[in-house]
Amino acid sequence: MIIAYGDNGLRMTSSNGETWSKPEFWKQPQGITSATYGQGSYLLLAGTGYKGAGILTASRNGRDWSDTVKVDGKPSPKPYTIGFGADKFVILGGEAGSPNKTTTVMTSDNGKDWSKVTEEKEDTLLSVIYGNGQFVAIGVRGRVAVSKDGETWKSAPDRRALDSFISIAAGDKGYVGGGLHGLRMFSPDGLKWTAREEGLEGEHVNSMCWTGSEFVAVGFGATFRSSNGLSWDRTENADAPLRCVYHDGKFVGSAWRGRILMSDDAVKWREVHKVDKHVNGFITDQSA
């Protein structure tokens, strides 16, 4: 199953990426910006607009959703991202637009009861994944950090703002981050980043996917593929999405406003559905 999430609490489900359920919304104006899957449940997080807190909802089947729960990270606002690994849920937040460096870490053993673990004077982490036995998070000014337990984090050294990642994926032998103008970099451990590659101006890699056999980086104007994260093939694409996920042999993506796209190869995209609100992303029990 795929769950699409977005503005005004938008939630829709699909078994194939093409046919979608009737959209659901919530009363709050906040949009859902991050999601994860763990312990048999899908957890969706909205952090924007709640000073000092985010809101969280959960479902085991994508149809019946729990009442929204306030996730309080005070004094630091805006939880940005949620992840799951090592039988633990993790929320990272902070003040990405502030000159004051802040990252707040919250963890939960069940996705319901949250504890604030720490508040670091480090650049804010905006997105987190779990793969190869650890969490890897990317943030502002090029920051990348890793954690085995979701509580104690170690930052990659010598990172530059120029090399900031928009997206990241875990493969069987390491990680690949993608960024502006076709930026791609590889790391075997999440700390040492090498093999820097660029594309053409404007080919921003907004989505990095791992298919089980290769990395697929989807950018504006080009799609890049690599089996090892080191050597890449570039193909011009058309109507590429802002976000995409790989599911059951297909790529499913979203584009402004409310357009859902599908592709067999992440190069040629076609619109299969449209909804009134923008779709910020997707989660599956495979992509979490």
* Residue boundaries of the structural domains of the chain: 31-156
The phi, psi pair for 91, rounded to 5°, reads -120, 130
Maximum average pLDDT range among 67-81, 161-175, 274-288: 161-175
| Residue 50 reports pLDDT greater than 50 | no
Q: Which residue has the higher pLDDT, 63 or 102?
A: 63
Block residue for tokens 């359920």: 21
| Residue 74 reports pLDDT greater than 80 | no
Is residue 7 classed exposed, middle or buried when 0-12, 13-18 and 19+ CB atoms within 10 A define those classes?
Answer: buried
- CA–CA separation, 23 and 32 (whole Å): 13
pLDDT for 42: 97
| Residue 47 reports pLDDT greater than 90 | no
Q: How far is CA 161 from CA 32, 93, 140, 165, 169, in A?
A: 27, 19, 7, 9, 19
Beta bridge partners of 6: 279
| Residue 18 reports pLDDT greater than 80 | yes
CATH class of 31-156: mainly beta
pLDDT for 30: 84
| Residue 286 reports pLDDT greater than 80 | no
pLDDT for 288: 45
User: 222-226 and 270-274 as β-strands: parallel, antiparallel, unpaired?
Assistant: unpaired
Q: What is the mean pLDDT of the chain?
A: 93
Q: Could you tell me which of 152, 99, 95, 147 has the C-alpha nearest to residue 124?
A: 95
- CA–CA separation, 100 and 96 (whole Å): 9
pTM, entire model: 0.95
| SS3 state of residue 162 | helix
pLDDT for 77: 58
Structure letter (DSSP) for residue 229: S
